[in-house]
Amino acid sequence: MSAMPAATTSPLAEARRRLAEATALIFDIDGTLAETEELHRAAFNEAFVQVGLDWHWGRRIYRDLLRVAGGKERIRAFDQMRRSGPPLSDKAIAELHQVKTERFAALMAAATCPLRPGVHTLLDAARARGQKLAIATTTTRINIDALLEKTLGARWEGLFAAVVAADDVPRKKPAPDAYFEALSQLDLPASACLAFEDSGNGLLSAVRAGIPCIVTRSRYFSDDDFTGALAVVDELTELCA
């Protein structure tokens, strides 16, 4: 008698099963909940003009710079690549980044930057199932307010059981710090949670914290290495079907 072939589950089916069973869903912000990076890039460029630097980040260089998580770290990385002039001090970088953060809030207030397809449905379905929601991001806290106040309303924070932003942890992604902090605030083990990311750095951060992770491809990171992801989708609508 010939053996029956083992039943295989597709990554998408497995992702949907985990999505239905997770106790908490933890979301990255930039690229995952919304395509924000063009606004970040514009904010950096406006800040450079405002402080009198003759820097400009086009899309190609920004793609490379995005491998460095965090705006201050990205400014420092670019500064170190330059061949001329003394390096910017930590204070100068902090001041420049403060200007960038103000410009980002102003740009976000004026822009149309919706949540990505499927995000509203996913959040609503999770709440209907009684699942907890959380955020683990390496963006600045004010940037989360700027996006979520516009898209989820002034009381967005009440929807989330934990919100971890850049300056809440010592190390940014791909270190697992943001996810460890989210787990601690949720008081849940990694295995009870499911993470959503758009970048290789974000995926590494979640996986290093032991959290299974679904990747949604975004504009700047679509070619990253997503080995280790539970599933990779183009839009989160694929999970809602």
Q: Which is nearer to ligand XBP, 16 or 196 (CB)?
A: 196
Q: Which is nearer to ligand XBP, 18 or 173 (CB)?
A: 173
Contact region with ligand XBP (CB under 6 A), list: 3-11, 24-32, 55-63, 232-240: 24-32
Least distance from ligand XBP to the Cβ atom of residue 21, Å: 25
C-alpha distance across the termini of the chain, in Å: 38
Dihedrals φ, ψ of 64, to 5°? -70, -45
Question: Can you tell me which of 45, 131, 139, 216 binds ligand XBP, judged by CB under 6 A?
Answer: 139
Q: Does 41 bind ligand XBP (CB under 6 A)?
A: no
Residue, CB closest to Mg ion? 31
Contact region with Mg ion (CB under 5 A), list: 7-15, 140-148, 200-208, 229-237: 200-208
Q: How far apart are CA 149 and CA 9, in angstroms?
A: 38
Instruction: Map the footprint of ligand XBP across residues 63-102, applying CB under 6 A.
Output: 69-71, 100-101
How long a stretch of residues is the chain?
241
- Active-site annotation holds for 30: yes
Query: Alpha helix (H) ranges present in the chain?
Result: 11-21, 37-50, 59-65, 71-81, 90-110, 119-128, 141-152, 177-186, 200-208, 237-240
Contacts of 229 (CB under 8 A, 6+ apart): 11, 197, 203, 213, 214, 215
Q: Does 138 bind ligand XBP (CB under 6 A)?
A: yes
Q: How far apart are CA 197 and CA 205, in angstroms?
A: 9
Least distance from ligand XBP to the Cβ atom of residue 158, Å: 22
Peptide bond into 5 cis (omega under 30): no
Q: Does 199 bind ligand XBP (CB under 6 A)?
A: yes
166's contact among ligand XBP, Mg ion, none, with CB below 5 to 8 A by partner kind, is ligand XBP
Least distance from ligand XBP to the Cβ atom of residue 143, Å: 5
Closest C-alpha to 26, from 232, 147, 140, 181: 181
Positions in the binding site for ligand XBP (CB under 6 A): 28-31, 40, 69-71, 100-101, 137-140, 143, 166, 173, 199, 201-202
Positions in the binding site for Mg ion (CB under 5 A): 28, 30-31, 198-199, 202
